[in-house]
Amino acid sequence: MNPVIDDFMSNEYRDTHERLLQKYPVSALEPAVCAYYLANHFDLNLTEFIKLLATTSDTSSAVDALNFAFKVARQDEISFESGLTGSICTFQYAAQVERFRRTKQVYTFDKDFLTELLDTDPNVTITGDLLKTAPHKVMYLDYSANTEICEQLQLDGTLVTILDIEVGDDVYWMLFCTAYYRGKSMFMHELIMPNSNEPTSVAEIINTSKITYNNVDSEKRGQDIILTLLQSLIYLCSFEPDVRETPMSKQRYKAAKANKPKDKRIKHDMPEHEYMVGEYFGAAFRKFTYENVGKQHKSTGTGSAKRPHMRRAHWHGYWRGKKGSENRTLVRRWVHESFINVDYDTGEKKLSVAKHKVK
């Protein structure tokens, strides 16, 4: 069972979450969550938060849902501020799990590909428009294949929800994330960035986001977890990423769809869609590493040959569309780590990596 569903089924507040979802649709919960975090991001007081809520949602249903969760959060006689924060956490968790249960999109990262991806130069700028190319709005990013990184970060995967919210003439992207380790949700955090063509650095997004670290023993590790998320998300949103749905996933889904009841009132639980990320790169990287590392380049030049070394992976941005056109957009491509001055038996000078467009 996926850790998202498993954790939800065993969560001590499961009854509260299920009552909340039965009483209010996700469409009423998410605007309240977005409004709260935007208000917190801009240091707005409670009155300003309510006004902001009125501009971003159906006020009556969102406020009603907020009061319901708030009463539940205050059962232990906690403060008003803590009660409000607790209700928002209840919203976020319930809405995320409900969205995931509907789609069950899982992206499993290849062990060696993940290592190279996290070693990519983090000094990269992105725009909010990049998130428009995300394969799904709610997905679980699975890092469990790389046990070393999982133990180091105490992170097996992250459930991420991507939302955009309009406030007047401005649009903001909201990333709601729940981190999992050893089958349990460890902490939740949100990232906010404007939806504009103005570039924003990854470091700036992390530094300007107000994050509560639950069960994380150091802020540094918390930031490393968020950096892992952003590197993963940028790759999935990049141009022609190496992503493929597994044959087993296709087979399971096809069988479940064939047995789906015709009566739409009958709830039918569909299986996960599992995608491998970096599978072709990982296979090519391992083959090259095990067979070719250490073979000296046979230079025919007159100068001294440099020792074999590896050039670090990096993000490369380039423009698509006619210059001056309104449709001209900046896209990112991940350029994998390359081997310099290494003798290839095949005569090829680059790793051969299959690329697939995300549907």
The one-digit pLDDT tens for each residue of the chain (359 residues) are 689 988 888 877 788 788 778 877 787 778 778 777 777 777 776 566 666 666 655 556 666 666 665 565 455 554 555 556 667 777 788 889 989 988 899 999 999 989 988 888 777 777 777 888 899 999 999 999 999 999 999 899 999 999 887 776 777 888 888 899 998 887 777 788 777 767 777 777 777 665 555 555 667 787 888 889 999 998 998 888 889 999 999 888 888 777 776 666 566 677 889 999 989 888 887 877 777 655 544 444 455 545 444 466 677 776 777 777 777 776 777 776 655 544 545 444 455 555 666 55
What type of residue sits at position 31? P
What's phi and psi for 78, nearest 5 deg? -90, 170
d(CA 199, CA 208): 15
* SS3 label, residue 68: helix
Place of tokens 């095990």: 290
Contact 49, 36 (CB under 8 A): yes
Question: What pLDDT score was predicted for residue 268?
Answer: 60
The pLDDT score that the predictor gives to residue 274 is 94
**Which token pair is 44?**
């707005």
What is the value of pTM for the model shown?
Answer: 0.79
Would you tell me how many other CB atoms lie within 10 Å of the CB of residue 275?
25
**Residue 125: phi, psi to the nearest 5?**
-105, 145
How high is the pLDDT of residue 346?
Answer: 47
* pLDDT at site 157: 95
Domain spans of the chain, in order of start: 1-103, 104-258+268-359
Beta-bridged to residue 273, according to DSSP, are: 105
In whole angstroms, what is the distance from residue 234 CA to residue 129 CA?
Answer: 11
Using the Cα atoms of residue 345, residue 349, residue 351 and residue 352 in order, give the sign of their dihedral. Answer: negative
Count Cβ atoms below 10 Å from residue 73 Cβ, excluding itself. 20
d(CA 188, CA 178): 4
Q: Degrees (nearest 5) of the Cα angle 101, 106, 111?
A: 155
- Give pLDDT, residue 70: 56
Strands 138-142 and 105-109, sheet pairing: parallel
Whole-angstrom Cα Rg for the chain:
23
Q: State the DSSP code for 24.
A: S
| pLDDT at residue 313, rounded to an integer | 66
